[in-house]
Amino acid sequence: MSQSRAIYPGSFDPVTYGHLDVISRAAHLFESVIVAVATSEGKGPLFSVEDRIEMLKESTADNPAIEVVPLSGLLVDFARERGVFTVIRGLRAVSDFEFEFQMALMNRKLEARLETIFLTPKEDYTYLSSRIVKEVARLGGDVSPFVPPPASLKLKKILK
């Protein structure tokens, strides 16, 4: 049933505890969650899509209901291919709202069946973003409180 599955798309460059919090909340609401990792180079990701997928897979390995796959092209095309029309996005603060609102409405324009559900993380993670984690890592800070061990390791490696 399409209602029991949801897609959580994003860059995950790299996955943070904020993303994992959203994934686990989604996994409580849906029978399975497809984490779709955007391959698009538009944002100039630090990590390859393969690395981003690997970090996510290792960090969610304990839950077989979570699938991690690459996403190239439009989310609506992916949704149609999969027959899943529920999209999860995370909202940390008002600052996320404008962009997320625009995306949700555009996606719905492109595919009327698509619904976006917003989940908010535990307050401890509302300040977390992949961007700020990369900044801290670049400057030599300890990122282990913010990202799961596979991401911590890969950040150390890539920034060496």
| 14 near ligand ADP, rule: CB under 6 A | no
φ, ψ at 120 (rounded to 5°): -105, 140
**Shortest Å distance, C-beta 24 to ligand ADP:** 11
Q: Kindly state whether residue 18 participates in binding ligand ADP, applying the rule CB under 6 A.
A: yes
Does 148 help bind ligand ADP (rule: CB under 6 A)?
no
Site string for ligand ADP, 86-125 (x = CB under 6 A): ---xx-x---x------------------------x---x
Q: Does 134 bind ligand ADP (CB under 6 A)?
A: no
3-state DSSP of the chain: CHHHEEEEEECCCCCCHHHHHHHHHHHHHCCEEEEEEECCCCCCCCCCHHHHHHHHHHHCCCCCCEEEEEECCCHHHHHHHHCCCEEEEECCCHHHHHHHHHHHHHHHHHCCCCEEEEECCCHHHCCCCHHHHHHHHHCCCCCCCCCCHHHHHHHHHHHC
By CB under 6 A, residue 16 contacts ligand ADP: yes
130 forms part of the interface with ligand ADP (CB under 6 A): yes
- Active-site residue (options: 43, 122, 138, 156): 43
Q: Where along the sequence are the contacts to ligand ADP (CB under 6 A)?
A: 10-12, 16, 18-19, 22, 89-90, 92, 96, 121, 125, 128-130
- Which residue numbers are catalytic? 19, 43, 92, 130
